[in-house]
Amino acid sequence: MKRVLICGSNGLLGQRIALALGGRTDLEVLNTGRQRSFVHDHKLFDYTQLDLGSRSDVRSLMSSFQPTTVVNAAGVADVDWCETHREEAWRTNVATVEHVLDGARRVGARIIHISTDYVFDGRNSPYAESALPCPVNYYGKTKLAAENAVHSSGVPAAILRVCLLFGTAMGTANSFATKVVRSLRVGENVNAAPDIGCNPLHVSSAAAAVVAALENDAEGIFHISGADFANRYDFACMLAATFGYSEGLVLSVKTTDLNLPAVRPMSTGFVTSKAERQLGFRPLPLRQTVSMFKQEFFHLAVN
Ligand SMILES: NC(=O)c1ccc[n+]([C@@H]2O[C@H](COP(=O)([O-])OP(=O)(O)OC[C@H]3O[C@@H](n4cnc5c(N)ncnc54)[C@H](OP(=O)(O)O)[C@@H]3O)[C@@H](O)[C@H]2O)c1
């Protein structure tokens, strides 16, 4: 029986992976996170506190749980925070991965590691897995360094690069889509850039790709994204229209006028055919996933 250790279970993606694997009787799953308890407090989920910043704690938990696969969904995805908190960003996005790899190597586990479209410079999208990474901001640099650590570790690994995630989750940092909806529903304007875009990805699709990678013992890099490219302005307008809020509240503001600390790669759409072929991944149309997001947002009461 596979023994699966999930790192970062309290995060936006980590929660969905935990929910997707909770209740599976053919797997032994242990959720972990920095916090004392798991946000979904239910007997379906085994959880233990684990700060990946401690190499010895990671070694010790791996040696007691003896995972066959480690799913690493931990990290910091706040691009501007990484730009202005470089040492902490490196510790969170690179040093933790080195600790996980060290632990995995000792117990002979494979790893599924989550990376990002921000390893690219945004000038030649859509990107296939064979494209050369060239990050333009510090977040992208940390994520590429983590990928390189995975490659050089010798640990059998699948790296899933995901695009802008959206979906509901308990108590996590705001994603772009959640921030937009929260502002629109109280009648606040939203500034959204028409000159940055990607293929936004619903977090349940990302979790499904992780499960497929787990079941297939996948190795190599996989690009995982939604089916449709959208710039931030169009994405925000689609959210407004779907949720029934005024599209007039969405203001088109160029990235340079947003005065953000971190430079953005402008266009990071993905080619997902490798994941479709090898993992059975199905990229979903943006309209469909935005409708799913609306259903969850109001019905799961976690907004
Ligand atoms: N969000 C996006 O749009 C996006 C896009 C592309 C790629 N990604 C990648 O997807 C992955 C997951 O992102 P996300 O959006 O789910 O992020 P998230 O909601 O911020 O979740 C990340 C989780 O990692 C945990 N974590 C951070 N440092 C840790 C440590 N030292 N030990 C243990 N846990 C630690 C956090 O714990 P706390 O709860 O204690 O803070 C948090 O629960 C990341 O690798 C990110 O780079 C995200």
For ligand 1, the distance from its centroid to the CA atom of residue 10, given in whole angstroms, is: 8
**Closest ligand 1 atom to Cα of 206:** 10
Asked if pLDDT for residue 298 goes beyond 90, the answer is no
235-283, pLDDT tens digit by residue? Answer: 999 999 999 999 999 999 999 999 999 999 999 999 999 999 999 999 9
Q: Are 303 and 297 in contact (CB under 8 A)?
A: yes
Ligand 1 centroid vs 92 CA: distance in angstroms?
Answer: 9
Strands (E) across the chain are located at 2-7, 27-33, 47-49, 69-72, 110-116, 157-162, 165-166, 190-192, 197-198, 201-202, 220-224, 230-231, 250-252
User: Which CATH number describes the domain made up of 2-173+199-229+269-284?
Assistant: 3.40.50.720
> How far is ligand 1, taken at its centre, from the CA of residue 246, in Å?
31
- Ligand 1: does its nearest atom lie under 6 Å from the Cβ of 53? yes
pLDDT per residue over 218-232, tens digit each? Answer: 999 999 999 999 999
| 289 close to 202: Cβ distance less than 8 angstroms | yes
Q: Is 132 helix (H, G, I), strand (E, B) or coil?
A: coil
The pTM of the whole model exceeds 0.95: yes
Tell the residue nearest (CA) to atom 11 of ligand 1: 73
